Amino acid sequence: MIAVPAVDLRGGKCVQLVGGDYADERVRLDDPAAVARDWAHTGFTRLHVVDLDAATGRGHNQDVIREILRDATVPVQVGGGVRDESRIASLLDDGATWVVVGTRAVEDEDWRHEMAHAFPGRLIVAADVRERLVVTRGWAETSRLDVIDFVQELSALPLAGVLVTAVHLEGRMAGTDLPLMEDVADASAWPVFASGGVTSLDDMRALEHRGLAGAVLGMALYTGVLDARRLAEEFGA
């Protein structure tokens, strides 16, 4: 299983929010490209970049993303507000290895199918979850779609993976939702990456034991609760 540091972008800065709440920002670093380089130098072999402003309709961080991709020495997956084919193509052209699609991929089955076949093996579908229901639009809207049903639908598409975020635990450093992640991994035909609440090496080992392909980590790394070098040594590749 692989550990994937998150580089969340807001207003041109690298941030960490609790539960995706813009009013509860706990970390702010001025140079996201330097942060991305530091994670690679630490030993991580994959990065997860998210444009929070684009995801929530507050603007975008495209120039910062281009800088991160230009400097990247490891594969990078990029998401946040990706809702049309031109944006997917642009990110791939800029150097993203994978593109993460969420809201539109959840809401528009035809578009999801078309994009998966237009970019086979390059898309990761994000299923952000609160109480096992998929949430969209920067976690502001809760659908009636059960995450297991949704993940099973994705199995027919040529994806690179599925990213499941336990929104109810995001940034709280209280451990992840192991039953949820195990059920999703069992239901998915594609590699599943967990996000939300991963705080310790024991969390990582528990996820690995339950069949997860990787985990995206944020708050625990940025606050030093989790030792980055130890994590990279055990789960860097």
pLDDT tens sequence across 48-60: 999 999 988 899 9
pLDDT at 26: 86
pLDDT at 89: 98
CATH number of the domain that residue 35 is part of: 3.20.20.70
Annotated catalytic, 94? no
Q: How confident is the model at residue 136 (pLDDT cuts 50, 70, 90)?
A: confident
Does the pLDDT of residue 20 top 80, yes or no? no
Number of domains within the chain? 1
Please, what is the average pLDDT of the chain?
93
| 68-74, long-range: CB < 8 A, 24+ apart | 68/7, 68/32, 68/33, 68/36, 69/94, 69/95, 69/96, 70/94, 70/95, 71/33, 71/36, 71/37, 72/36, 72/40, 72/47, 73/37, 73/40, 74/40, 74/44, 74/45, 74/46, 74/47
Q: How confident is the model at residue 135 (pLDDT cuts 50, 70, 90)?
A: confident
Give the structural domain span for 107.
2-235
Annotated catalytic, 38? no
What pTM does this model have? 0.94
Residue of 8, 53, 177, 203 with catalytic role: 8
Which run of H or E residues covers position 76?
A: strand 76-79
Whole-angstrom Cα distance, residue 170 to residue 17?
A: 8
Give pLDDT tens digits for 151-170: 999 999 999 999 999 887 66
Would you put residue 192 in left (φ > 0), alpha (ψ -120 to 50) or beta? beta
Residue of 51, 53, 128, 203 with catalytic role: 128
